[in-house]
Amino acid sequence: MKRQYAVIGLGRFGGSICRALSEQGMEVLGIDMDEDRVNEYSSIATHTVIADSTDEGVLKNLGIRNFEHVIVAIGENLQSSILTTLILKDMGVSKITVKAQNDYHERVLLKIGADRIIHPERDMGIRIAHQVVSKNVLDYLELSDEYSIVEMAAGEKMSGKSLQEMNIRAKYGCNVVAVKRSHEVIVSPHADQKVEEGDVLIVIGGEKDISRLEKDLMA
Ligand code: ATP
């Protein structure tokens, strides 16, 4: 039977993934070469091991290829991050997610076959910037290079108007995929759906289009 998750590198990022997965009842193996880090997570993760992930033999002995998903959360040491990813790929790990330091690091990781690259600091910076620019933006998530999804609180300007009246799709090229109103969620709302102040709109669209919408309608 496949085991669940392994997290390599228990710094702030890897550690928080390890903690969150454990809290969700997942089986997690935490690996770090630093004994103190490993001790910190020994009572949180299912198993913890002090090991250098660039040592192929060590990863083999840990049976790393049997894990469903391995997360490489080594930050600063690019060489270790790349070598670890390469070894995991060679061993046939089915899903590998890697934290990247910069765009060059990302390109190398993609070339050697990482399945998903994450830039936690950059992504969080973008999310916070959107929240800071408009007090109505509650959350922001980048879906791809082109599309994002944003959660925005409807203000006075939107109150009492239908989606059609605001012309969101035609004017901004964005789609409202749901409207949250207290505990109710209206999924795929019709064009005649009226919006009330305090509703939360889940909007999908291009980065620039969403920004225009935020500026015009959310002020
Ligand atoms: P964060 O921002 O998540 O705290 P960071 O970007 O500062 O992390 P590092 O501190 O460089 O990243 O690395 C995260 C963790 O990975 C550290 O605890 C470090 O000991 C561990 N680590 C680094 N290289 C290896 C390796 N080859 N094998 C196992 N663990 C490693």
pTM of this prediction?
0.77
Distance from the CA of 158 to the center of ligand 1, in angstroms?
A: 47
Q: What is the CATH number of the domain that holds 61?
A: 3.40.50.720
Q: Confidence band (pLDDT; 50, 70, 90) for 219? A: low
The CA distance from 141 to 55, in Å, is: 36
Amino acid at the residue 217: L
Tell me if 13 sits within 8 A of 76, measured CB to CB: no
Taking the centre of ligand 1 as the mean of its atom positions, its distance from the CA of residue 2, in whole angstroms, is 26
Query: Does the pLDDT value for residue 134 go beyond 80?
Result: no
How far is the centre of ligand 1, averaged over its atoms, from the C-alpha of 48 (Å)? 15
Q: Both tokens of residue 11? A: 């710094």
Ligand 1 centroid–CA 129 distance in Å is: 27
Measured in Å, residue 77 CA sits from the centre of ligand 1 at 7
- Summarize pLDDT for 8-61 with one digit per residue, the tens: 999 999 999 999 999 999 999 999 999 999 999 999 999 999 999 999 999 999
How many CB atoms lie under 10 A from the CB of residue 158?
23
Say if residue 58 is in the same domain as residue 72. Answer: yes
Please identify, by atom number, the ligand 1 atom nearest to the C-alpha of residue 37: 18
Tell whether 39 and 109 lie within a shared domain. yes
Whether 89 and 12 map to the same domain: the answer is: yes
The answer to whether 71 touches 8, Cβ cutoff 8 Å, is yes
The preferred substitution site among 12, 13, 33 for testing ligand 1, maximizing ligand atoms within 8 Å of CB, is 33
CB 153 within 8 A of CB 200: yes
Domain count, the chain: 2
The average pLDDT across 182-203 equals 92
User: Which of 40, 39, 31, 43 has its CA nearest to residue 6?
Assistant: 31
Residues 37 and 138 in one domain: no
CATH of the domain at 202: 3.30.70.1450
Question: Residue 117 to residues 19, 29, 30, 98, 167: CA-CA distances in angstroms?
Answer: 20, 20, 19, 5, 36
181 and 80 in a common domain: no
Single out the residue in 89, 118, 147 at which a domain terminates.
118
Last residue of a domain, one of 74, 102, 118: 118
pLDDT (0 to 100) of residue 133: 72
State which of 70, 96, 118 marks the end of a domain.
Answer: 118
Task: Say whether both 112 and 163 belong to one domain.
Answer: no
Q: Is the dihedral of CA 52, 53, 56, 59 positive or negative?
A: positive
Do residues 29 and 112 both lie within one domain? Answer: yes
At 101 the pLDDT is 93
Q: Are residues 108 and 210 in the same domain?
A: no
Judge if 11 and 107 occupy the same domain. Answer: yes
Angle at 33 between CA 32 and CA 34, to 5 degrees: 90
Over the stretch 52-96, which tens digit does the pLDDT of each residue have? 999 999 999 999 999 999 999 998 899 999 999 999 999 999 999
Residues 101 and 171 in one domain: no
Asked whether residue 110 falls in the same domain as residue 194, the answer is no
Calculate how far, in angstroms, residue 126's C-alpha sits from the geometric centre of ligand 1: 24
pLDDT in tens, 137-185: 788 887 877 888 999 999 888 999 999 999 999 999 999 999 999 889 9
Residues with CB under 6 Å of ligand 1 are 8-14, 31-34, 37, 52-54, 73-77, 80
CA 55 – CA 49 distance, rounded (Å): 13
**CA distance to 6, 17, 71, 185, per residue, from 96 (Å):** 10, 14, 6, 34
Residue nearest atom 19 in ligand 1 by C-alpha distance = 9
- Do 44 and 104 fall within a single domain? yes
Nearest CA to ligand 1 atom 18: 11
Q: Rounded to an integer, what distance in angstroms lies between the CA atom of residue 58 and that of residue 71?
A: 16
What is the distance between the alpha carbons of residues 27 and 18, in angstroms, rounded to a whole number? 10
Domain that holds residue 197: 123-218
